[in-house]
Amino acid sequence: MNKNSSNTMALAPNTSNKRETVCIFGTGDFGRALGHKMIQSGYPVVYGSRSTQTSSLIPKDAEVLSHAEAAQKAAVIIIAVQRQHYNFLTPLAEILHGKVLVDISNNLKINQYPDSNAEYLAQLVPGAKVVKAFNTVSAWALQSGTLDASRQVFVCGNDIEAKQMVMDIVRALGLTPLDQGSLLAAREIENYPLQLFPMWKFPILLSLGLTAFFFFYCLIRDVIYPYIYENKDFSFFIAISIPNRICPVLALILLALVYVPGVLAAIIQLYRGTKYRRFPDWLDKWMLCRKQLGLVALAFASLHVLYTLVIPIRSFVRWRISSQTISQAQKNETEPLNITNAWLSDSYLALGILGFFLFILLGITSLPSVSNNVNWREFRFVQSKLGYLTLVLCTAHTLVYGGKWFLSPSSYRWYLPNAYMLSLIVPCIVLVLKFVLIFPCLDKPLTQIRQGWERNPQYSE
Ligand code: NAP
């Protein structure tokens, strides 16, 4: 019986597919783009506008009426009007009573008003059920169909049924609603589109600062010093040699900085004997941008690889090799192969290749599409264990590159060590601290603390 009835249901015309009329106040850019998308998805659309004359820009299947007439035709009304014009809604309060008003508005500045636009709307029309949605989707993306980057629509509101109705519309448009809770969340949702890569600010500023510092550092050591003391013009080093010194230095320092907050957090927790006290603000912020720091580090490492690949075709390098060959030919002698140097050079390259491979693996697993497909333990394994292995390999790559030059006086022009020597400071400190922290006498209490144990419990029974 069940089987039959389900078959009959499947064959019967699906009356539930008929969509309810949606009203849109405002025939501006967003109102038109959203109306267009809604009509495509099967929703009858009626516009409420100050002028009832239709224009060629308005979707041709939509009706344009006065605000009051349009509002009467739908249970859901989308307010595609700027906040500063919301006053026109006050005389319509009676008609809007019980209706679902969707606030899609954005502001020009973060926290521009003391209350969110959605809360302001709810206060203006107290009888309506206000839901915040769609503000993170742009009119252009709606119209052009390039919604991949902004498929998620944050939705919030105090009335669960109203929120559900709006989320159903969002889904019908092929977007993904994300329930953010009550209308209190509206402020944050309104600030969201105004943020300019908030997590990237610190990593980008830090890498710009470090790049400037190391550029001038290398310029002084590798261009100005030989010019003054040896009368040699190495100014062309600015194009490839100096960037190829800065990139690995920054990649290593930034990668090490990804692991510094974890080590600091462990030390703080051990010292306090609890995990229930908040970390200082700066440490919290640092922890939140570790992924971005790692990705910037990966970008520098990739540039280093590219710069290294062109070394053999550089005119300066070819000139140096040919002059060494000619000088050997003139002296009629062949330099024997230095096995130590060959070992150092091969090991340095091998460590670099392996380090870069793991670095890429870390970068790939940090992509949302990949990280969403691994569980928390797998993600932690890759980011922490493989991450530390990457740091060890890249640090070893730099140490072997230095080889026997660490103690050579020629490495200290004007008492300035080579840039790669400076780059080893942070990673070596991080690795030593991490090594100390895995000793059982520290690791055991730390694990207990992270499982909730406290040295001096605040709320003892
Ligand atoms: P818009 O092009 O300036 O259109 C706003 C519409 O509001 C006008 O076309 C007009 O429609 C109506 N309006 C203007 N003054 C009015 C008044 N005094 N009283 C009543 N209605 C008035 O703006 P928009 O780009 O469509 O943006 C509309 C809302 O969507 C804004 O709150 C914005 O923050 C939000 N939003 C926009 C985008 C986007 O990409 N554009 C993205 C997300 C959110 P009528 O002439 O038909 O009355």
Whether 179 and 227 map to the same domain: the answer is no
φ and ψ of 159, to 5 deg:
-95, 115
Rounded mean pLDDT of the chain? 90
What is the model's pLDDT at position 409? Answer: 76
> With 90 as the cut, is the pLDDT of residue 336 above it?
no
Distance (Å, rounded) from C-alpha 236 to C-alpha 257? Answer: 31
Domain presence at residue 9:
no
> How many domains would you assign to the chain?
2
Centre of ligand 1 to C-alpha 147, Å, is 20
pTM value is: 0.72
Instruction: Give a yes or no: residue 458 inside a domain.
Output: no
Confidence band for 150, pLDDT divided at 50, 70 and 90: low
Is residue 186 domain-shared with residue 206, that is, in the same domain?
no
| Nearest ligand 1 atom to alpha carbon 105 | 32
Distance CA 180, CA 192 (A): 13
Q: Do 136 and 254 fall within a single domain?
A: no
Alpha carbon of 181 to ligand 1 centroid (Å): 26
48 CB under 6 A from ligand 1? no
Please identify, among 194, 213, 245, the residue that sits at the C-terminal boundary of a domain: 194
* Gap from CA of 267 to ligand 1 centroid (Å): 53
Last residue of a domain, one of 138, 166, 194: 194
- 10 in a domain, yes or no? no
Encoded tokens for 8? 């009959």
Length of the chain: 461
SS3 string, 372-440, reads CCCCHHHHHHHHHHHHHHHHHHHHHHHHHHHHHHHHCHHHCECCECCHHHHHCHHHHHHHHHHHHHCCH
Report the CATH number that the domain containing residue 190 is assigned in CATH: 3.40.50.720
49 lines ligand 1 (CB under 6 A): yes
Which amino acid residue places its CA nearest to atom 19 of ligand 1? 85
CA nearest to 286, candidates 248, 252, 259, 249: 259
Sequence-distant (6+) residues with CB within 8 A of 273 are 445, 449, 454, 455, 456
Collapsed DSSP state (helix, strand, coil) of residue 163: helix
pLDDT tens-digit series, residues 406-435: 777 777 888 889 899 999 999 999 999 999
Would the CB of 30 count as within 6 Å of ligand 1?
yes
The answer to whether residues 152 and 267 belong to one domain is no
pLDDT band at residue 2 using 50, 70 and 90 as cut-offs: very low
Tell whether 8 is covered by a domain.
Answer: no
- Confidence class of residue 12 from pLDDT cuts 50, 70 and 90? very low
- Give ∠ CA 313-315-319 in degrees, rounded to 5: 110
Does residue 5 belong to any structural domain of this protein?
Answer: no
pLDDT, position 279: 92
Which residue range is the domain that position 389 belongs to?
200-326+338-451
Does ligand 1 come within 6 angstroms of the Cβ of 424? no
Give the pLDDT of residue 6: 39
